[in-house]
């Protein structure tokens, strides 16, 4: 069922709003970290990372099953179910009396997001003519970048009310209103007899959680501690088990053999690297501007806006630029801008002018603008039309998995370096809130220790993005020279 132009534009706007909602929640929670750290829940530094990452990891690992469920059970119905689950999980998080229920709410919200994201694009591609699909994919992909910034800005507005609980409460009516409009506007697409793979989904979630457990608990428990070693060992074993299950399945959700395709493999690595850097930045930025620069939570949310300027201005021109100079060149500059922007941001301290900070955000945003539609297009173009759903899910999985890794790694670097940078008599504190509570009169020393830790962590993230970008781009540049 193809819609007329007006209906298509309305449907595109609605689906983009759904994408911005679920992706925005990945970023918005970072603004609440200082509030959560100082709340009566008293979360430790690793628990703060889990509060951020529980949503993201369920989101990442269940996106492909969410797309498969849409193909089999009906994309519109699964999309509606996802929005309702998203609202229910957010409500549970808003009223959670303890950390465990908060984490449970985050998990439910992530499951809902995983049902929403792939089916937004599936619904769109079913409703638009073939000649509009490229532009539709590019617009949809850009929303994943804009969603991160919208989450920062919207989260800042909501959290300025003074409670982290308001962030979760605010998205409940938004999700329910979107569900009402989806029910009225979205067309019903034909169902496909696509097998579901619950064992593969469970193994992928378990492997990813075990990996993050090893990363997040390292600084506090020790890298040689049983919990960390067991986490990494279980993660490796579970990833192997997942690969074996998928290889033997008659209809795997994600066939590991797809990664034999060089373009697909490199594009997935590239998306993972971009979101690794971007969401590590969101995690650090939220606390740096509040602790280091003294910004309010609203000012902090608005402070990320310069990152969006290149996305808004330049996203529509990336396709033509790639045609003129070639994909490898576009991607080369994408990774150079993102990596260099993050390294530039890592030079910021308490005395750095916000204008300088904002300039580095623009540089980073320019790289994100070049990367998102380009890499998404490569993934979509590497697979036949019959596997379009797999391509959509793969894009979402790599993005959200990169986001989860970025938060986990920057949180680990930040926690370890912060403890080292604190004065010796305060090193029992693992968060800024704990250190300030223990020694209120020594705020400048605590904040300086945090800024030193944040800068060091962000520098490692920036260099990592540059290295991963080299792995993505160099093979293509070499082939280009040989030809």
190 pLDDT above the threshold of 50: yes
What is the DSSP secondary structure assignment for residue 164, as one 8-state letter? T
Beta carbons of 128 and 8 less than 8 angstroms apart:
yes
H/E run at residue 132? none
- Summarize the confidence of residues 56-72 as an average pLDDT: 87
The pLDDT of residue 32 is 93
1 pLDDT above the threshold of 60: no
CA distance 242 to 236: 10
The pLDDT of residue 261 is 87
Among 64-73, 181-190, 306-315, 407-416, which range has the highest average pLDDT?
407-416
Angle between helices 5-31 and 388-421 (to 10 degrees): 20
Give 156-184 pLDDT, tens digit per residue. 999 998 899 999 999 999 999 999 999 98
**Level-2 CATH architecture, domain 5-196+253-482:** Up-down Bundle (1.20)
- For the chain, give the longest Cα–Cα distance: 68
Q: Binning pLDDT at 50, 70 and 90, where does residue 188 land?
A: confident
Higher model confidence: residue 104 or residue 433? 104
Give 365-392 pLDDT, tens digit per residue. 999 999 988 888 888 788 776 666 677 7
| Least confident interval from 2-11, 116-125, 249-258 | 2-11
Nearest to 285 by CA among 45, 35, 27: 27
Higher model confidence: residue 106 or residue 443? 106
CA distance 478 to 251: 36
The pLDDT of residue 6 is 45
Q: How far is CA 152 from CA 24, 123, 381, in A?
A: 7, 27, 32
- Summarize the confidence of residues 235-263 as an average pLDDT: 88
Beta carbons of 337 and 285 less than 8 angstroms apart:
no
Cβ-based neighbour number of residue 169 at 10 Å: 16
The pLDDT of residue 457 is 94
25 pLDDT above the threshold of 50: yes
DSSP labels, 348-392: --TTS-HHHHHHHHHHHHHHHHHHHHHHHHHHHHHS-GGGHHHHH
Cα torsion 206, 209, 215, 218 to 10°: value is: -90
How is the chain split into domains, by residue range?
5-196+253-482, 197-252
> Residue 267 is encoded by which pair of tokens?
């594009």
């Amino acid at each position: 069922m193809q819609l007329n132009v007006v209906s298509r534009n309305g449907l595109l706007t609605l689906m983009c709003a759904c994408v911005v909602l679920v992706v925005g929640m990945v970023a918005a929670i970072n603004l609440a970290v200082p509030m959560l750290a100082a709340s009566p829940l008293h979360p430790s530094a690793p628990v703060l990372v889990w509060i951020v990452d529980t949503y993201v990891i369920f989101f990442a690992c269940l996106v492909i099953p969410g797309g498969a469920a849409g193909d089999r059970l009906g994309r519109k119905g699964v999309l509606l179910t996802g929005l309702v689950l998203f609202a229910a999980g957010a409500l549970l998080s808003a009223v959670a009396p303890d950390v465990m229920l908060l984490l449970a709410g985050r998990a439910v919200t992530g499951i809902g997001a995983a049902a929403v994201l792939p089916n937004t694009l599936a619904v769109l591609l079913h409703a638009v003519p073939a000649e509009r699909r490229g532009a539709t994919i590019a617009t949809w992909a850009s929303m994943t970048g804009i969603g991160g910034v919208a989450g920062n800005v919207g989260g800042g507005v909501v959290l300025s009310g003074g409670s982290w609980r308001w962030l979760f409460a605010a998205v409940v009516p938004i999700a329910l209103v979107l569900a009402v409009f989806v029910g009225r506007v979205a067309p019903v697409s034909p169902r496909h007899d696509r097998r579901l793979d619950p064992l593969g989904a469970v193994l992928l979630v378990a492997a990813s959680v075990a990996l993050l457990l090893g990363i997040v608990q390292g600084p506090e428990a020790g890298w040689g501690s049983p919990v960390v070693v067991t986490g990494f060992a279980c993660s490796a074993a579970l990833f192997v088990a997942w690969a074996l299950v998928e290889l033997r399945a008659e209809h795997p959700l994600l066939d590991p053999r797809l990664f034999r395709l060089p373009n697909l493999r490199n594009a997935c690595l590239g998306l993972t690297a971009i979101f690794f850097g971007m969401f590590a930045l969101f995690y650090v930025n939220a606390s740096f501007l509040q602790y280091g620069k003294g910004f309010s939570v609203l000012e902090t949310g608005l402070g990320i806006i310069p990152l969006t300027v290149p996305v808004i201005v330049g996203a529509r021109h990336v396709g033509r630029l790639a045609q003129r100079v070639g994909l490898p060149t576009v991607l080369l500059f994408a990774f150079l801008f993102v990596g260099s922007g993050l390294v530039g941001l890592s030079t910021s301290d308490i005395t750095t002018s916000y204008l300088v900070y904002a300039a580095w955000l623009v540089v980073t945003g320019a790289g994100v603008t070049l990367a998102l539609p380009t890499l998404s297009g490569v993934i979509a173009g590497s697979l036949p039309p019959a596997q379009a759903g797999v391509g959509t899910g793969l894009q979402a999985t790599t993005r959200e998995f990169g986001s989860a890794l970025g938060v986990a790694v920057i949180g680990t670097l930040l926690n370890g370096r912060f403890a080292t940078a604190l004065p010796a008599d305060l090193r029992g504190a693992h968060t800024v809130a704990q250190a300030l509570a223990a020694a209120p009169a020594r705020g400048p020393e605590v904040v300086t220790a945090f800024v030193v830790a944040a800068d060091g962590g962000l520098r490692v993230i920036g260099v990592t993005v540059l290295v991963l970008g080299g792995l993505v781009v160099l093979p293509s540049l070499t082939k280009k020279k040989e030809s």
